[in-house]
Amino acid sequence: MASGKKALLLGAGFVCPPAVQALSDAGVHVTVASRTLSAAEAITSGRSNTSAISLDIANSEALDPAVADADIVISLLPYTLHAAVVKSAITHTKPVVTTSYISPALWDLNEEAKAVGITVLNEIGLDPGIDHLYAVKTIDEVHRAGGKITSFTSYCGALPAPDNADNPLGYKFSWSPRGGLLALLNPGQWYENGKIAEVKGEDLMASAKPNDDFPQFELVGYPNRDAVGFREFYNIPEADTVFRGTLRYKGFPEIIRTLVTIGYFSQEQLAPLGADEKEPLTWSQLTARLLGLSPETSEAELETAVLEKAHFLSKEESERVVSGLRWIGLFSDEEVELHGSPLDTLCAVLEKKMAYGPGERDMIALQHKFDVLRPDGVRETRTSTLIEYGEPIAPGSRSAMAKLVGLPCAVGVLAVLRGDIKEKGMVAPWTSAEIATLLRDELKQKHKIQLKERFTIELEEQVF
């Protein structure tokens, strides 16, 4: 039983509260640890069976005793910090749960974790997480029936609800945007018609295409990092196409692509943006500098220069992009907050302009599509779809993202504490159909989280 156990939760981000609530309701005492004590206290305040501590995981003398005192460790920190947590957990033989992909640094610890007999359950959030649970379900059903998966495509997007997608990018941040923006420069790789296809990071936004999986929304999709490994993870060597993508509203890629072209994604430190710089700098002056123009360049001239540089835009896109850049303020005489690099300077203004306001909601859209060849030769298409809206922003409310990451994490923690997951070392929901079924069923029964599944049969044309 999990009741009476102690969990150490590292991190105090927006996905933590639903996980803490679910675990404390199940009788697990949760200690929330953050470098900033007030951040941890904000999560535990008013919740029974919880406590908050200040902890810097870079300090092993502080981390080790906290890990040793717990029955399980939950790392909701950035993925780059998981390895340090798992090393401590190996030393003290404590299981670990994360919502992140299994990184190379974690794979390097796989044999050590197995040797001491601990489970390190990863990829149990939303994407990765819930997506795995339903991919494995359909694939297992098709294989058991003797069929083959000839194509697997999956798209997922964390978006504002349509009524709240009220800025030119159709996007809002509930956390610091830096990581989200840098992810827009990640290269993509996938299987297409039996061959590996790829797109370079600088071309990612150019690869975006209209997506009709959700016809009620105007969405576009682009590749989500490296999907090649999923042919092996999901045990579908027969699949000619294996693709995973990200969803955004129409118009988003063109604005991002233009910002990159201007130079606003540069992480280079610029002297005029230094914190100790005494001379004020306006947005129009910064934009002019990035374009290699005079600081006195007029707004109209700046707009013309942007469109000359962003020659890939159509006439309709050009008007929308210039309007978007104007909304951000890139042609204005407003003074810039100095943050060292163009990227960090841009992040500071987007964090303010693109934040969720009171009463607004986020939305998660996820769909898997499977092309199936049955043993009788009939072809069919199966889909698994989820549309989830968050609660309107208010004190104590839960966003769709927080719910769909935090609750699967809690389900995984409870399964490990009960001993329901026997596998040791690095484990993920795709490790076995049994693990996926266990976690999927509990999410459905306890938290009403599930994907809607449909299938259509491709009928051959009849000639009379």
Name the CA dihedral angle for 442, 445, 448, 452, rounded to a multiple of 10 degrees: 80
- Per-residue pLDDT for 275 more than 80? no
Contact by Cβ (8 Å): 360, 135: no
Facing residues of 382 across strands?
A: 370, 455
Amino acid present at 201: G
Q: What is the pLDDT of residue 463?
A: 39
Distance between CA atoms of residues 335 and 87, nearest Å: 46
Q: How confident is the model at residue 459 (pLDDT cuts 50, 70, 90)?
A: low
pLDDT value of residue 345: 95
- Per DSSP, 71 falls in state S
Catalytic positions, written as ranges: 127
Query: Is the backbone peptide bond immediately before 395 cis, with ω within 30 degrees of 0?
Result: no
130-252+357-393+452-457 shares its CATH topology with 269-340: no
Characterize 225-247 residue by residue with b for buried, 16 or more Cβ atoms within 10 angstroms of its Cβ, and e for exposed: bbbbebbebbbbeebbbbbbbbb
At 461 the pLDDT is 44
Residues near 218 by Cβ (< 8 Å), separated by ≥ 6?
Answer: 249, 250
Name 373's bridge partners. 148, 379
Confidence bin at 277 (pLDDT 50/70/90): low
Cβ-contact 369, 360 below 8 angstroms: no
Task: Average the pLDDT over 415-421 and give the result.
Answer: 97
pLDDT at position 150? 98
The model's pLDDT over 312-366, given as tens digits with 9 standing for 90+, comes to: 999 999 999 999 999 999 999 999 999 999 999 999 999 999 999 999 999 999 9
pLDDT score for 179: 87
pLDDT in tens, 68-115: 999 999 999 988 999 999 999 999 999 999 999 999 999 999 999 999
> How confident is the model at residue 367, as a pLDDT?
98
Query: What is the reported pLDDT for 3?
Result: 82
Closest among 160, 63, 82, 110 to 393, alpha carbons compared:
160
Rounded mean pLDDT, 132-143:
97
Query: Which residues in 374-451 belong to E strands, given as ranges?
Result: 379-389, 425-427
- CATH code of 269-340, in short, is 1.10.1870.10
Separation between Cα atoms, residue 415 and residue 413, nearest integer Å: 5
CA 160 to chain centroid: 14
CATH superfamily of 130-252+357-393+452-457: Dihydrodipicolinate Reductase; domain 2 (3.30.360.10)
Pick 6-125+398-447's CATH classification: 3.40.50.720, 3.50.50.60, 3.40.50.300, 1.20.1260.10: 3.40.50.720
- Sorted by where each begins, the domain ranges of the chain are 6-125+398-447, 130-252+357-393+452-457, 269-340
Q: What is the pLDDT of residues 213-252, one digit of tens each?
A: 999 999 999 999 999 999 999 999 999 999 999 999 999 9
Instruction: Give yes or no for residue 188 having a pLDDT over 50.
Output: yes
Q: What is the H or E stretch that residue 305 is in?
A: helix 299-309
CA distance 411 to 92: 23
Q: What is the four-CA torsion angle of 61, 67, 69, 75, rounded to 10 degrees?
A: 140
Average pLDDT over residues 155-170: 96
Contact 328, 350 (CB under 8 A): yes
Asked whether the whole model's pTM tops 0.85, one would answer yes
